[in-house]
Amino acid sequence: MRGLYIGRFQPYHLGHQAVLEKIADEVDEIVIVIGSAQESHTAENPFTGGERMEMIYAALGKADLRKRCIVTTLQDINRNSLWVTHLRSMVPCFDVVYSNNPLVVRLFSEAKVTVKKPPLYQRELYSGTAIRNLMRQDGNWTDLVPGNVAKFIRQINGVERLCIVPKSDSFEMPSHE
């Protein structure tokens, strides 16, 4: 039995990890799909598809879980009605999908795919949006992601990128001390 877990993972956090561990109790293998893989260097999608893949492998470590996961990427097609067919044409076969995202749930349900909604783990804390905000505000985000993911984000100067990319190049008055 194979489960599919899809997300943007911007970044991969402990909520994702908790879901993954729960899925691992229910299926033999998990296909982890990194969605919107073409996006990067924006406020909503700071990390590349490849960087997000590195994060997931860093979080999986070398344990049994890693051997049971297939990590792959999927680009957007911007046509929701064709998206499930697009996904099926690009990723390994699966029997059941795990998602809490309303659009993802709806699209798979309409395609008659079994969808399970994993429980939410402290969603106000473990959310990509909240973590990106903390990164921008110099808050404590490192405890919200697996240790190896925090290490990787530091290695690639990820926080600096996130702070710089939304800035405009319009004229700003130089500040006088």
CB 14 within 8 A of CB 126: yes
**Beta carbon of residue 33, minimum distance to ligand ATP (angstroms, whole number):** 10
Among residues 44 and 160, whose Cβ is nearest to ligand ATP?
Answer: 44
Q: Does 52 bind ligand ATP (CB under 6 A)?
A: no
Q: For residue 75, state whether it binds ligand ATP (rule: CB under 6 A).
A: no
Q: Rule CB under 6 A: say whether 108 interacts with ligand ATP.
A: no
Residue 124 in contact with ligand ATP, rule: CB under 6 A:
no
Distance CA 102, CA 157 (A): 32
16 lines the binding site for ligand ATP (CB under 6 A): yes
**Site for ligand ATP contains 42 (CB under 6 A):** no
Q: What angle do CA 90, 94, 98 make, to 5 degrees?
A: 105
Report angle CA 101, 72, 141 to the nearest 5 degrees.
60
Helices (H), 27-157: 49-60, 64-67, 83-90, 102-110, 128-136, 147-155
Site residues for ligand ATP per CB under 6 A: 7-10, 15-16, 19, 99-101, 118, 120-123, 126-129
